[in-house]
Amino acid sequence: MKITNVTEYEAIAKEKLPKMVYDYYASGAEDQWTLQENRNAFARILFRPRILIDVSKIDMTTTVLGFKISMPIMVAPTAMQKMAHPEGEYATARAASAAGTIMTLSSWATSSVEEVASTGPGIRFFQLYVYKNRNVVEQLVRRAERAGFKAIALTVDTPRLGRRESDIKNRKFKPLCVLILQIHFAPNLTLKNFEGLDLGKMDEANDSGLASYVAGQIDRTLSWKDVQWLQTITKMPILVKGVLTGEDARIAVQAGAAGIIVSNHGARQLDYVPATISALEEVVKATQGRIPVFLDGGVRRGTCERQGFTS
């Protein structure tokens, strides 16, 4: 089958991947209303095309935090990519570099920051959750910095994992990460960024113990003061990922964030929140141009890209 657009990958994935793996990647929270709205909202935005403009030379390059990239499109963080293919994050890193754009590596990747750095040159950001054990956070941030990563994408919309009902049915109430890492075709998958860290006391030392530990250690006390704390342990700029309102955008500016990612976590956290493209204008207006604003969620075609990426 010749792939002509991004959406067609979804049909192929559904055919090739085990059901619980496909459901993990594809599902949203609860009724999945926001999952659909992320896409539908783009369809309600219409072009006002201007004519008789010389378009023989088009320059799509832009800059992000001072880094020049080939187009206004970056790769957002996606966990556990080796569930889909043995190359996982390696392939994504190489592809992003070849395309001249930025990859953001998930904390919950199946390849470590060092392994991704070893694939060759490229501009990379590191997506971070904040854990109860701040020593773990410091270790992750410093490893990313040593590996040449250029920014932290601090995910702030996950005080606990969203209620994704397909996952609940598939896992029969086992911890999500435990189930995912026990899939039959990849028994040795693990959350590679946590290997070698001083995690303190754990109940189990195997992969399932690690995954269960990590999933249960996200700090629900996370607040704006932690954005400022992160700035004391790293020179990397902090992007706040998960902003949907103008009120929070203004606080992010005051807290010293280097940028904002308008995101609803791919509609995987809280259902019945706005599509990201619907929230974008409010957030941009609130920042008053003081920091760059980016967007993820719902983008499926190039006709959306100029609407879905702004600074």
- Domains plus CATH for the chain? 6-45+60-308 (3.20.20.70)
The rounded distance, in Å, linking the Cα atoms of 301 and 293 is: 20
Residue with tokens 């990958």: 9
Q: How many alpha carbons fall within 13 Å on the CB side of residue 94?
A: 8
Radius of gyration of the chain (CA): 19
Low-confidence ranges of the chain (pLDDT < 70): 171-188, 200-213, 215, 304-311
- The H or E element spanning position 34 is helix 33-43
Give the angle subtended at the CA of 79 by the CAs of 74 and 85, to the nearest 5°.
Answer: 90
* pLDDT computed for residue 91 by the predictor: 97
Contact 167, 24 (CB under 8 A): yes
The rounded distance, in Å, linking the Cα atoms of 265 and 128 is: 13
Question: Which residues, listed in sequence order, are joined to residue 240 by a DSSP beta bridge?
Answer: 154, 260
Residue type, 190: T
Contact 287, 254 (CB under 8 A): no
Report the binding-site residues for FMN. Answer: 77-79, 106, 127, 155, 241, 296-300
Kindly report, residue by residue over 261-292, the tens digit of the pLDDT.
999 999 899 999 999 999 999 999 999 999 99
Report the binding-site residues for glyoxylate. Answer: 24, 129, 164, 263, 265, 268
Indicate the pTM of the whole model.
Answer: 0.89
Residue with tokens 């320059």: 59
Which is nearest to 267 in space by CA: 9, 64, 5, 40? Answer: 40
Stated length of the chain: 311
What CA dihedral angle connects 30, 36, 42 and 43, to 10 degrees? -150
Active site residue 265: yes
* pLDDT computed for residue 159 by the predictor: 84
- The H or E element spanning position 89 is helix 88-98
Tokens of 174: 């086992």
* pLDDT computed for residue 205 by the predictor: 40
Question: Which residues, listed in sequence order, are joined to residue 259 by a DSSP beta bridge?
Answer: 239
Which is nearest to 249 in space by CA: 220, 276, 270, 221? Answer: 276
* pLDDT computed for residue 310 by the predictor: 43
The number of beta carbons lying within 10 Å of the beta carbon of residue 195 is 11
Which one is catalytic: 143, 171, 192, 265?
A: 265
Tokens of 195: 């290997």
Report the binding-site residues. Answer: 24, 77-79, 106, 127, 129, 155, 164, 241, 263, 265, 268, 296-300
φ, ψ for residue 297, nearest 5 deg: 105, 120
- Does residue 80 come out as left (phi exceeding 0), alpha (psi in the -120 to 50 range) or beta? left
Beta-carbon contacts of 24 under 8 Å, excluding residues fewer than 6 positions away, are 80, 83, 164, 166, 167, 170, 176, 180
